[in-house]
Structure formats: structure tokens, C-alpha cells
Amino acid sequence: MKRVQYSSYFTQYFFIAPQLAIILIFLYLPIVQTFTDAFTIQDAFGFGRYFAGFDNFIFVLSDPNYVTALKFTLIFIVVITFFSCSIGLLLAVQANNVIHGKSAYKTLLIWPYAIAPAVVGVTANYFFSERLGILYNFFNGLWGFDWYDNIYDAYIYVFIAASWKQISANFIFFLAGLQNIQKSVIEASRIDCKSSFRRFWTITFPLLMPTTFFLIIINITYSFFDTLGIIDTTTIGAPSGETKTLVYKAYIDGFKGLDLGSAGAQSIIMMLIVLVITVFQFRFIEGKIHYN
């Protein structure tokens, strides 16, 4: 924290008031409502709500469809994080090595960052459409690919769409991380170790750890929340709900099914999951990224 500061209450409130006002109306009120929904049940005729304790939570957690969505979300997170991180890292390491054409490669690799997940989803849809989709026909030629009926084929479809979009974000951060490593450390390691492969895993990679941790968190939040637009424009949960993420399921149950209690309970369960992730993130950002 700063040693010297201002101590005027009025000015402090003035500067923070706009943000507090917006979050009060559009964040805190909805959150209170979410909790109300989660702990109440609407009666069958829609006249009133009564307190239901943890009934909504028990209902959600004992629903086999919810367990399916939970499992899928976990697999989804691990696969997306692994593939987009490793491809992003590979490309960043190579881009950091080249002398000629560095900025051209950079430009050609970062633009997908700016594409909306929903646009990626619609595009993937054309590649995976049954009649003339290029990737559909390619995989179909290999093993009779059919994501409309086969769970694992549907997995492959959404994994490819969701990972592709995230590669460039990982690339940007890994490249910045690599450029932050001091040249003298790398040069010193050149003298000690001839193999560039071993040098990477014993010197560079450990120095990249803060970036890697940070990116793992970023990728988890991406796979958790931002992929809603991808799921909604690709499989919509096909074959029969196996490719719904938790967020997508909560959205469908709430908006299409109008089951406020269940949607509220699902939101609170996810808040708890995000809480764990964020505590981890804060400890990491506050603790590790500050080293110089």
C-alpha cells in the first residue's frame, strides 16, 4: 500500500460511488434474489413462494442430469486447459526464438482472441454439419463419426471449437511471460547446458510458473462461463444433455424451464466453485506475480 495518501472522505466516496452504484443495482440485488430463489419454492399455481430450506439443493444434487453436467464440465475444463495451454506455450516459445518475422507471427496468432465464442461456435457448426461439413466428413471417414448420436464424438466437436478459440489468449500471455525472463539467466544457462530441450524444462519452464498458474485460472473461468456461447451454437447439449456445462444447464433450466428454485440453487453451487477458484487466484496474483 501507498505510504502517502489522501484522507478526504467526500472525495473518496465521490470517486468510488459510480462503481458502487452500478454493482449495488445490477449485482447485489440480483444476488439477493438468487439466494431468495434458491431457498424458496413457488407453489403450483404461481401465487406465492414458501421457504424450502435446502430442498432445491437436494433436488439439484440428486438429479442424475446434474451429475452428468458436472462430470462433463470437469472433463471440459481439463481438456481445454491442457490443449490450449500446451499449443499456446509451444507457439509462444517458438515465436520468442525467431529473429525475423516475430511481429508478423504475433499478429497472425493473436487475432482469434477477439472473436466471440458464439461466432466460433457457429463457424464450428459449418465444419461439423452432417451433410457437407469438412471436419465431419474427415472424422466420419476415419471411424464413422456422428456427434448427433455418439457422446464421445460430440465431446470432440465441442473440445475442438472451445480449445481453438483459447489458444491465442494463452499464446499472448506465455509470450509476455517469456519476454519477462531476464536475458542474463537464459544466457547463463546456455553455458551450463547444451541441450535446448533440457534447458527449457529445467530453467525456462520453472520461471514461467507464475504465468502458467495464472493461465490455468483464466482457462478454468473461460471453460466454465465463456463457453456458454459455444455450447449454445454447436451441440446444444447433444446427443441428449451430455455436452451441457453447469452454466449452460442452469441457463436452460432457468430460462427455458422457468424453474427459478433449481436455477438459483445451481447458481449458488457454482458460486461456491468460483469462490474456491478465486481464493486460489487472489493468493496467487497477490503472492507470486509480484516477484521481480
Partner 1 sequence: MSRYFRITITHSVLVWGVLLMIIPLWLIFASSTHSNSVIYNEGMQWKVGGELFENYDKVLNKRGGFTKEITASKIFLNSFIMAFGIATLSVIVSMMAAYSLVYFKTKFSSFFFWAIFITLLVPLELRILPSYQIVSDLNLTNSYAGLILPLSASAIATFFFRQYFRSIPDELLEAAKLDGANSWKFFVDFLLPLSKTMIAAMFIFMFVYGYNQYLWPLIMTTSEKYWTVVMGLKMLGVGGSADRYSYIILSLLTPVLIIIFLQRLFIQGLFQSK
Restricted to residues 121-160, the positions that interact with partner 1 (CB under 8 A) are: 122-123, 125-127, 129, 131-134
Q: Could you tell me which residues are beta bridge partners of residue 42?
A: 49
Q: From the CB of 85, what's the least distance to partner 1, in Å?
A: 14
Q: Which is nearer to partner 1, 20 or 74 (CB)?
A: 20
Q: Which is nearer to partner 1, 169 or 203 (CB)?
A: 169
Q: Could you tell me which residues are beta bridge partners of residue 51?
A: 40
Which of 44, 45, 64, 107 binds partner 1 (CB under 8 A)? It is 107
Q: Which is nearer to partner 1, 15 or 47 (CB)?
A: 15
Closest CA to 244 of 231, 255, 259: 231
Interface with partner 1, residue 280, by CB under 8 A? no
Q: Where are the strands (E) in 154-292, listed by range?
A: none
- Three-state secondary structure along 118-143? HHHHHHHHHHCCCCCCHHHHHHHHHH
> Which uninterrupted H or E stretch holds 49?
strand 49-51
Q: From the CB of 107, what's the least distance to partner 1, in Å?
A: 6
Q: From the CB of 282, what's the least distance to partner 1, in Å?
A: 8
Distances (CA, A) of 257 to 137, 250, 269, 287: 35, 10, 19, 43
Which residues, 12 to 31, sit near partner 1 by CB under 8 A? Answer: 12-13, 15-16, 18-20, 22-23, 25-27, 29-31
Which of 86, 97, 182, 202 binds partner 1 (CB under 8 A)? It is 97
Q: From the CB of 225, what's the least distance to partner 1, in Å?
A: 5
Which residues, 194 to 213, sit near partner 1 by CB under 8 A? Answer: 196
The dihedral sign for the CA sequence 104, 110, 114, 115: positive
Interface with partner 1, residue 86, by CB under 8 A? no
Interface with partner 1, residue 105, by CB under 8 A? yes
CA distance 128 to 154: 10
